[in-house]
Structure 1
Amino acid sequence: MTDTNSTERPTVLVPVRVLDGDGIPDGVPELLGNAHVVVLGYHVVPDQTAPGQARLQFEDRATDRLAEFATMFEAAGATVETELVFTHEKQQTIDRQIRDHACHAVLVANATRPPERVLVAVRGTIGSSRIARVVAGLFADTDAAVTLYHLAADDESDTDAETMLGAVRDRLVDRGMDEDAIALEIGREDGPRAAIADAATSYDVVVMGESEPSLATFVFGMAADDVAEQFLGPVVVVQRDP
């Protein structure tokens, strides 16, 4: 189910444990209504069970659930494709799908209301073009207000931080976002994970860049999960340039 316009949209991977009772949280389809969504339905099988054997047993039920999820995203305006994988290695599977579909970001899905305030955690200028593509792709045609947030280092001046954030703002404006809808914020708290989670409490969505070589490890075992657990809203993790 691929749309010819999908290349103009940011591609976002949405992993779902398709046979373990996971669903698509409220508000997530609307959040990704302007994206090209890859719904990855995965099921981790025991080491002693061959993935092919599990597929023979559960494929029909899993496929039906994936079709339901795809319909939800399409109804919200997204273009959608689905992948069903039975695997021994969850993280390797997710990494492979990121590469195969050239995903710009991965969603750590929590329920959300229609996004009105978006926090974008910016670490530096590296990767800012991809962050700008994802943020503008998702929110340029909405009324959401975006705050670019940077946790400054001890030896980093406010002027340097503002210059860096201003460059990201310019990229968003170039991609069609209203400059008046973009605010800049500099933090100086200790502990970046806690600081981002604290800053996010008054926002509906967090967008942040990955910081580890393996995006799957980062998303499902490190900072993004920490933020998602504290923030309780969806976290969009932008992948590094390949």
Structure 2
Amino acid sequence: MLDDPTLLIPVDASEPDDPALELVELLRPLRIVVLGYYPVPDQAAPQQLSEEYEDEATAALEACARRFADAGVEVESVLVFTRDRVQTVDRVGNEYGCDAVLTTGAVGSLNHILVSLKDETNMFRVLEVVRLVMMAGDPEVTLFHAESVERGSARSELYLRGATDWLVDRGLDRDAITWVEPTAETQESELRELAGDHDFIVLGESEPSVRERVVGDLSNRVHDRTGKPVLTVRRER
């Protein structure tokens, strides 16, 4: 279970975008750490870039963090000049005890949230974030069972029904929650299709497969396909 969940939001400090107000409102219940990462080309020295651009990058990062602070969100910010964004995100996430990482994207309305549940050991961490997000707004939620089981199996139904009951027991509207059971053969393609029809996607972090090591993890593939914001709930460290 999560106690006072903390969300890490990586922002390219060389080309920062202010987070959409709708996204700020949705994430209000979470503590926020804004990571301003400044990409360092292989041929450049991090110290040199830091000396040249630190003031500019710091001002941009502070403006981004202020957008959350002005909405009453507890927020911290950290600036890093780095050659390896992924490594930096993981390191800063560990240092600040972050429970989830947000990949920002195009935001219109945030009325429909897709939640992919797979790893049973991480399920309740994902659901706790979903609970907080649903309490902050009034979205409809689709629970997706991303597991290699046959459609309509008793195990899949039990898993999704249990997740729904957990949210309802904590005061959420059962009518706002639906679920989808994919087949083993179509689970990722169905997830990407569903993601295109939703405004915001929540995934649980899992151990990387060989495919993910080669072509990138699922959250990146979903984001690249849809351009929508994707929140990945990290496994317990």
When normalised by structure 2's length, the TM-score is 0.87
- Deviation by residue 1:52-108 (Cα, 9 ceiling, x = unmatched): 332222111111001110111223342110010012322211110111111111111
Q: Which residue of 2 aligns with 1:234?
A: 229
Q: Which residue of 2 aligns with 1:76?
A: 71
Mark the CA change 1:170 to 1:101 in structure 2 (over 3 Å): closer, same or farther: farther
Query: 2:157 aligns to what SS in structure 1?
Result: helix
Q: Which residue of 2 aligns with 1:184?
A: 179
Q: Which residue of 2 aligns with 1:46?
A: 41
Task: Tell me by how many angstroms 1:18 deviates.
Answer: 0.5
Separation in structure 2 between the aligned mates of residue 46 and residue 124 of structure 1, nearest angstrom: 36
Aligned residues: 232
Task: Tell me by how many angstroms 1:154 deviates.
Answer: 4.5
Q: Which runs of 5+ in 1 are unaligned?
A: 1-6
Query: 2:136 aligns to what SS in structure 1?
Result: coil
Q: Which residue of 1 aligns with 2:188?
A: 193
Separation in structure 2 between the aligned mates of residue 51 and residue 61 of structure 1, nearest angstrom: 15
- Deviation by residue 1:187-207 (Cα, 9 ceiling, x = unmatched): 227343321111123211111
Residue 209 of structure 1, aligned match among 204, 211, 224? 204
Q: Which runs of 5+ in 2 are unaligned?
A: none
Task: Tell me by how many angstroms 1:147 deviates.
Answer: 1.4
Residue 17 of structure 2, aligned match among 23, 35, 50? 23
Q: Which residue of 1 aligns with 2:5?
A: 10
Task: Tell me by how many angstroms 1:25 deviates.
Answer: 4.6
Partner letter of residue 104 of structure 1?
A: D
Aligned-residue CA RMSD in angstroms? 2.4
Matched, 1:132 2:127: yes
User: Superposed, which structure 2 residues align to 1:50-129 within 5 Å?
Assistant: 50-129=45-124
Query: 1:140 aligns to what SS in structure 2?
Result: helix
Task: Tell me by how many angstroms 1:174 deviates.
Answer: 4.2
Identity of aligned residues (%): 35
